Chains A and B, each alone.
Chain A
Amino acid sequence: MSERGPHMRTPLGRVRGLGSAKAGTQHFWHQRLTAVANVPLVIAGLIIVISLAGRNHAAAAQILGSPLIAVVMLLFIVSVSYHMRLGMQVIIEDYVHEERIKLVLVMLNAFFSIAVALASAFAVLKLSFGV
């Protein structure tokens, strides 16, 4: 039972903080979580984009600002931007082996994803709250 010597730590405690991003299985799980969410959100997003494609500015602004559409778009933005950040991080970790360059790229990836998400969300919120 206790032949593992000095190991006071649980199996989970021993593997935490490992992996190239030091985040263990959380990355994998969040990638799948957002992937599942993305399926209905992308279908809804495509319907919204198509229904807005031929309209003038006033109509497009009104539709995007309506509560239901705005909430769907916000969910879409959050889920998609988080999913793409996770995916791009894997690409970076697969191909960039120099530790410092990898770290910088992982940071830039976070900045880009968050900036795109915030800009998009801001636009939707501005349309929702008016003026």
Chain B
Amino acid sequence: MTETTRRPETARPLSPHLQIYRLTLTMVMSIVHRATGAVLYVGTLLLAWWLLAIASGPNAYLTFQSVAGSWIGRLVLFGYTWALIHHMLGGIRHFLWDLGYGFGAAEREWLARATLFGSIALTLLLWIFAYLVTGGLR
């Protein structure tokens, strides 16, 4: 009796788990959605710094611009733009699901691809546009 009651404990069904299920695109996109959210969270420090620098005066703004305009700064801002757009498109995907659409296997895959390629394309277009219009960060 004791053996039969103990055995099921190890054989209980598990919730979705990274080491149990083969990695799929939709799964990766779910993880990336959360990861980009966490990155955006920390990145709001940059937004606050930018706004406070402008409010503080020309010298503080110059300091911000020199950091943001460095190649590391540009790389971070580029990554941040992608995280923002990816999270936004991922959010729109979640709206569709909330409304009851897009649950089919083919639709799920299509939405995952659209989010990924859409975010990359939009980020590149936005930066090209920004450089053309403003001459980029100075």
Contacts and interface: CB of A to CB of B under 8 A. Distances in A.
A87 B41 contact: yes
Nearest to A87: B37
A38 B87 CA distance: 11
Contact of B55 (A36, A116, A123): A123
Contacts of A126: 55
Interface string B45-65: 101100110110110011000
Interface stretch (B17-25, B88-96, B100-108, B111-119): B88-96
B32 to A, nearest CB: 14
Interface of B, secondary structure class, is: helix
B61 A57 contact: yes
B130 interface: yes
7 contacts: A39-B88, A50-B126, A56-B58, A60-B61, A64-B51, A84-B40, A91-B37
Interface of B: 34, 37-38, 40-41, 44-45, 47-48, 51-52, 54-55, 57-58, 61-62, 81, 84, 88, 91-92, 94-95, 98, 126, 129-130, 133-138
